[in-house]
Structure 1
């Protein structure tokens, strides 16, 4: 089988070019707020196989100093988050810290190249180490050899691996839908007060009768249980700010305590982890397991299980994150302050309505955990196959049974 495989440089497999962001300063607000997605390195890192979620958009002025890349382009990060990659699912722009690869359809399959790139990530990151800032230049990227089989074999391998990714993408979409359902339900009931029976409800001031205003700090405790990483099992999950996704309460990745050194904070399953550095990044998750986390995380634990869903959805709401941003301390690296945030007002209903709310939301949270576990298992199975398939170590036909079992 291996006699069909040959070494290629990336630019022998298709077009390679850096993204474009000519205007200075890059953050000039006149460039933003239009219809053109602007993908940055963090967006690429957060993506699965396909890149379609973004935090910023360009307007016509922004587009004029950039370039609109088409769906199917493989995006490769060369600064900040080194050697992360994802395939554009929609047209979009990206800066010069991202390289675009457009496969020659007669020579290479984009998905196969992406998977091959995944196996080279550590080597590329090692080659990017610098004295001041890590950087993978385009020149360095083009020095790497890509061992590639025939196009037909590439397509067959990519079909097997992407089947795992398609299952992951499907579960991820379901997670997003369930999170949005929980978020909307919270806003309807506790912000707009359109809860069941609101049509006939009487109000006492700003709140329905029977409700009361409490501080968030009355529902959750700020846990500051410090620990040194060497004092816990090396395999203990470690959640850094880099692991916490933006605008999602589902934590999908973490590393191990053995990879860190400085003082960390202990957390338990179902604790709320709030990234306090640059709170406008909106990094808030409900912990699916216990472990240790960065000291730049606020660890919140519900005093009562009855208040967990309400507290989690409040802490992850746009309004709360905006409040955390507006009251943060510092300019370059603003930090949220729990001493301020604990006074954030929460509308607490009577026990019967709260139980009804939990009856809707807690099963959603359980499904989020279940889907997240399924994705973790799918990633593990894919990652076991990936290096063996893209190197020719195992035959393509031998992996199809594994895929059928996963489905």
Structure 2
């Protein structure tokens, strides 16, 4: 099959986003201002839930995105996001700000949008985009610089075939992600129904009694966190000492592990430390199936570790027990994030200390209720973990195929005749 060498500027042009005014940002509104935080590192559109930036101000014409539009991150809001692209899933609600670019094809008859989407998410191209960026604290590129990125492209028919192969993996990933979102929302709704609104099985026959947290069902106890479950802190071995890091096999989480993944479970950390690094630092090992909570700067990223692990000092890790089982604890922590943020203090960045955390009031339901909740939610969590691992396997396969397909190493026409 014939491929031709060209620059991205021969295929497309990029329209810069608009600098939407911060005074019009709100918790709710009519439109959502997209940022690089709406991209996954490997590409794709990322819903941010409660953290979306809603906009209620005037909107210049031409900045409301449509379903199928292709956007690219021009600013490296977090490491790895620069050059990442995403396809808009819905018309009329999303706005692109000045940190994003709208990709517009020069000839839609000769260039496939989905193929271009995968080009942007190819490591070879992303490296060129990153090299084109400038800035010290926050790196930023420009449409003219992206236009000079060198690529090779086949005929539009082959482009569509390649995009079809890769998008089949992405559709399977999205289906699994959708199932995860449904399971997570079912579990959270059940937690709120039983333990926030007190509409648990048999609640009609239980009278309410006054407490420091307001009226609660009789038989429930208001305790302190310190009297309910154990917590653990973290630490960082010196980066100057290679023996603390080289060849390390102990999982060591930093907040960026949780914020970049955005998943309920964490199978592994990006960094690992040695046994010596653990002993000679304030990092503390905690068991698998604990609840990790980021406690400084970004307060409220939460995940469950599936293997024994430790963290840096930006965490409070909550350890479940018989009275406070894992998934009940996970949802209590999730629901309590506004409380943690309110109690945080600090001049440079906000942090909730372990000392303050231990004093937080904790509502302890009777054991039969937490056990009943666990019996219902644990199978859901098991499905979520299985789906997460399925997604990881699909991504690995897609990411192995992507550079081979986009470079022409795999002959797509030969596949069709195989």
Name the TM-score, length of structure 1 as normaliser: 0.85
Q: Which residue of 1 aligns with 2:325?
A: 307
User: Contact between 1:213 and 1:347, CA under 8 Å: does it hold in 2?
Assistant: yes
Q: Which moved more, 1:211-220 or 1:351-360?
A: 211-220
Deviation for aligned residue 1:64: 3.4
Deviation for aligned residue 1:73: 1.8
Distance 1:51 1:393 in 2: 30
Q: Deviations over 1:338-394 (max 9, x none)?
A: 322222223222222221111011111111111101101111111111110111111
Q: Which residue of 1 aligns with 2:98?
A: 96
Q: Work out which of the residue numbers 287, 293, 296 in structure 1 matches 2:311.
A: 293
Q: Work out which of the residue numbers 295, 303, 316 in structure 2 matches 1:276.
A: 295
Deviation for aligned residue 1:202: 2.5
Deviation for aligned residue 1:265: 6.0
Deviation for aligned residue 1:127: 3.6
Q: Which residue of 2 aligns with 1:404?
A: none
Q: Which residue of 2 aligns with 1:355?
A: 371
Distance 1:352 1:196 in 2: 11
| Structure 1: stretches of 5+ with no match in the other structure | 402-407
Q: Which residue of 2 aligns with 1:218?
A: 227
Q: Which residue of 2 aligns with 1:405?
A: none
Q: Deviations over 1:103-123 (max 9, x none)?
A: 342122222112111222233
Q: Which residue of 1 aligns with 2:35?
A: 40
Distance 2:286 2:35 in 1: 31
Q: Which residue of 2 aligns with 1:231?
A: 244
Q: Which moved more, 1:36-45 or 1:366-375?
A: 36-45
Q: Deviations over 1:31-79 (max 9, x none)?
A: 7742112111111237863455461122242x23881122222221121
Number of residue pairs the alignment of both structures matches: 392
SS in 2 for 1:136: coil
Q: Which residue of 2 aligns with 1:58?
A: 55
Q: Which residue of 2 aligns with 1:187?
A: 192
| Structure 2: stretches of 5+ with no match in the other structure | none
Evaluate the alpha carbon distance shift between residue 29 and residue 174 of structure 1 in structure 2; reply closer, same or farther with a 3 A threshold: same
Deviation for aligned residue 1:336: 2.3
Q: Which residue of 1 aligns with 2:162?
A: 157
Q: Which residue of 1 aligns with 2:117?
A: 114
User: Contact between 2:296 and 2:349, CA under 8 Å: does it hold in 1?
Assistant: yes
State yes or no: 1:394 paired with 2:410: yes
Deviation for aligned residue 1:22: 5.2
Distance 1:45 1:159 in 2: 20
Distance 1:39 1:250 in 2: 24
Deviation for aligned residue 1:165: 0.8
Question: Root-mean-square deviation (CA), in Å?
Answer: 3.1
User: Contact between 1:284 and 1:316, CA under 8 Å: does it hold in 2?
Assistant: yes
Evaluate the alpha carbon distance shift between residue 235 and residue 314 of structure 1 in structure 2; reply closer, same or farther with a 3 A threshold: same
Evaluate the alpha carbon distance shift between residue 22 and residue 74 of structure 1 in structure 2; reply closer, same or farther with a 3 A threshold: same
Q: Which residue of 1 aligns with 2:84?
A: 84
Q: Deviations over 1:112-147 (max 9, x none)?
A: 112111222233224436444322232321210121
